[in-house]
Structure 1
Amino acid sequence: NAGKNLRYGSSEQQVRSLPFTSFSGRSEYWNSKVQEDIHIKSQSGRYRIRGYGGARPLPHLSDLAFRKDLSRAGEAADVVERVHMKTRIGGINGAEPLKLSMPVMIAPMSYGALSRSTKQGIAMASSMSGIAENTGEGGMSDAQRDAAGQLIFQCLGGRLGWNIHDMRRADGLEIYISQGAKPGLGGQLMAKKVTPELAEIRGIPAGIDLRSPSRHPDILGADDLVIKVEEFREATAYRLPVSVKLGAGRIRDDIKIAVKDCFDFVELDGMQGSTGAGSSEVIDYVGIPTLPAIIEALEALDEIGARERIELVLMGGLRDGVDAVKALCLGADAAGFGTSVIIAGGCIACMQCHIGQCVTGIATQDPEHEHRYKPETEARNIHRFLEGVRWQIAAITHGLGYDDVRELSREDLVALTPEAATMTGLPYEPEHAHQLPAARASS
């Protein structure tokens, strides 16, 4: 009968043993990474922690292109000398500004998330390139202070390593509200990285997980924040610029508060920014990407007529001088580089920064691993990268027809995707999608 005709003569060959952990076929929805994530959570019973930034595609500066043909940009041998790039940041309210040789700064990264040798190497490179470094959370080391030409001292809610003596030997102060990789959350440092030396600097017990408070205990709103800004200025004889670091979240409100509280400049950190440790869900799914973040910030300033009352440094996944020029065109006063700097210094982007066993000696406090990092060697590598950024900025600016980076404007950009056009208000011209500036092709 029909039933007999449908039976197989032998049983189906077994293709894998049970229980199984992956499909015998393929599924883009229940893919191997999704399954791995579920299995790890079933064993740990908590959210996953990792380092680095977002691992999924998000709108970014790569969705923009330059309106003008730049295929011959940078052909002039003396293009760096032809373009004025010196930038002053932080003097808008009368403080002594940071004097940058180009509109570039090093993004905040802490001694703790990174090794002492790494922070020293980055500080050395920043001095060699004539730009500013940032301590990040957790205090200022003597090695970093001695190596950096200009150093910004960062203050978080936990006030770890914060003291008036280091305030007075800094070149700028920064109040951390949040960061792009995990807006609304404080810093996170796994126990393996909390060595006795680091614990002493931060004033905490050694060998335990450290989670900084998500807010400052004495800052409940804008009125408290302006008091803190004034305290910092008074403590440093009104000499140092005071900035605020904002992870892109409630941007319109936050930017307006920054203006109201008379900050000298804002470091706006988009969702593509990285971190030493954070929840993978937060890193990938919380925040606003860098591209729409700067647009919303500038719109907020225009709404209150305050564009000339505060300066804006954009960071969050910026890769090179091409991205820096796009940020300047959109309206930023300077660009901040973090991840690209540590990659230039040897990072292999394994996203295991939180483990404390970084094989390159960058994201570790283990002496056996840290000895692999050679500060002098990596400082030269980072310096060469930064000089490449300088050349890219000069070449593109000159190729666009200017001899000063302050002449760059939105008119020099087009959008490559409908989403980017909607976010930025730039014309949608996808025909520029295959344009590759000579500045990036030859760098």
Structure 2
Amino acid sequence: VEDHALERADGGFGYIDSYLYLYRLDAEPKRLAAINASEQRVITPKAVDLWEDGPRLGITTAGYGGSRQVLFSWADRAFDKPPQINAWDTPPGAADGAYTEDGAWITASSLLDAWVIHGAGTEVQVVPAGKPSTRTLDSRLGELLFFTEMMAPWGKTDGPLSRFTCETCHHEGYTDGRTHFTGREHGGLKVHASTRPLLGLFNNAPYFSRALDQSMTQMVHSEFKVANRHNGRDPWFELTTLDIKWLHHVVGREPLRLSAEKLRAAFMAFLIDFTHRRNPAADHAAFTAAEKRGAEVFRDRCASCHDARLIAEDPNSAVPFERWEKLVLSPPGPLVWNTAEYAKTGVLPYVHEDGARIPTLRRLYKKWPYFTNGSAKSLAEVVDRFAYDARSSLHDQGAPAMTRLPADDKAALLAFLDLL
């Protein structure tokens, strides 16, 4: 992603184009080139191949979220000059790629569930791989809205303007570790926020750190609005297979018109399906002694905010302590470990007058850095900063008189958190 601070001052997203960086790695690593790949509609490139042809060095790539295959090359390795660019249209979803002996470039498209073959001078071939998807068409269209530029196909790359997808910040639906300036202030301090995962949203309303979107319907409207903030288009738009040239690979050759309402319904269908994979650490049938003790510490010190609920906004979905072990170690690991409430935890500045919406701890190992402002770089730091007394618990700004967790309880709590 563009090596520039994210700009959110006007409610949009600025300076988040996808970039390719070329480095020489030796005793003194050096950046040789920085290429704005989004200018060529190569968005979130994952399939990247570096090649040499005598004095010429080049990069072949295709955007996971874009619609082009591009070859960037430098004659005589003159990296101080712009590269030569050759580009071809291609469907999105390229997760990896490789050259064949006859010079064709084959990519694996996980969005199309297909092999995409780019032969020299020939039309792109899309060859289905594996069994046909059993997901609904709406869910597959929603996946494309999430991972490709289909949600904002008229994006620009001038100055702060950017072509991007949800995955630009939410890598594989989780995070890329970024902490960005929100464009807001609170108490005279600039408010920064860390990226949150977008998996498991269905039972985790309201949404994001300020919890301003109370329902998934409201949140989806907001996402279309912010994605199209800078392109001059009304976010309430429709799309056809003429607008998205590669869409026939998913919906077939018959002309199709997707209304604004249909697009939002599809996005919601995908987000409902888009849930967490099994936690690899939860691979045993019963808690270890350390995990059991950690669960007890969590119950006594953490669960007043991070409640063991199946649905964040429904207090009646809370499960008793006796069921934690079975649910935590089950493949879905479905507990969200939060509520729909705000809390003032001492992590400053607050994003809202009432603090910040209590975050989910589900699949905590995939969320980094920690706290709303991203100030904790490890879970060990999170538990080190925790303090409590008879009246409150704080994650930061704890007074000296407040109690800290003893070392044994910290270790046990970390063992339990690793399972969530």
Q: TM-score range by the shorter chain?
A: under 0.3
Which of the pair is proportionally richer in helix? 1
Comparing both chains, which one has the higher relative contact order based on Cα–Cα distances under 8 Å and sequence gaps of 6 or more? 1
Q: TM-score, normalised by structure 1?
A: 0.24
Which of the pair is proportionally richer in strand? 2
